Amino acid sequence: MASTFELFHSFRQYIADGTIDLDSADVYLALVTSSYTKNLANTIWANISANEVANGSGYTTNGANLTSNDVTYSTTTATFDAADVTFSSLTKTFRFGVVYINATVNSIVKPLIGVILFDSTPADVTVSGVDFTVTWNASGIITWS
């Protein structure tokens, strides 16, 4: 099962105009069903939230809050990273993970960052009573130069 992470188009604007400050943002990862048709032109969580997996069975509405968020800089690159996310004793079927800010910033309600397609077939992922961990790339969640 290979996965891919893509940025929503609006994220680039949100970073450039200062809407999103990843150093202090309340970043979340939500699980989304295959009812969602991936659209990188989506801009806010409300565009997607109707397709979120149901609350319960190891999942909480709005997803998991990313912890240990960190932005590092070098001469030529910036990197955003956070701790891996584990949904404990999860029993769900889903296809996507959506990373977004769970707050209103600069009058934008819950701006989107990126979307993960967990199985590039693409196929649904079904887990039953297991700890499901999203392991971020060792180079960071987002790296840009």
Q: Give the tens place of pLDDT for each residue, 12-56.
A: 999 989 889 998 899 999 999 999 999 999 999 999 999 999 999
Provide the number of structural domains found in the chain.
1
| Nearest C-alpha neighbor of 80 from the set 133, 21, 30 | 21
Q: Work out the average pLDDT over 140-144.
A: 92
In terms of residue numbers, what domain contains 104?
Answer: 4-135
Q: Work out the average pLDDT over 71-78.
A: 92
Q: Is residue 140 part of a domain?
A: no
Q: How confident is the model at residue 145 (pLDDT cuts 50, 70, 90)?
A: confident
- CA distances, 108 to each of 4, 63, 112, 113 (Å): 26, 19, 10, 13
Q: What is the mean pLDDT of the chain?
A: 95
- Is residue 91 pLDDT above 80, yes or no? yes
pLDDT attached to residue 1: 59
Instruction: Decide: 14 and 20 in contact? Cβ < 8 Å.
Output: yes
Angle at 51 between CA 48 and CA 57, to 5 degrees: 130
Q: Is residue 96 part of a domain?
A: yes
What is d(CA 123, CA 93) in angstroms, rounded to the nearest whole number?
A: 10
What are the DSSP calls for 62-85, one per residue?
T-EE--S-EEEE-SS-EEEE---E
Q: Is residue 144 part of a domain?
A: no
pLDDT attached to residue 3: 84
Instruction: Decide: 113 and 5 in contact? Cβ < 8 Å.
Output: no
Q: Is residue 85 part of a domain?
A: yes
Q: Is residue 87 part of a domain?
A: yes
Compute φ and ψ for 47, nearest 5 degrees. Answer: -70, -20
What is d(CA 102, CA 56) in angstroms, rounded to the nearest whole number?
A: 19
The model's pTM is: 0.95
- CA distances, 43 to each of 9, 22, 117 (Å): 8, 17, 17
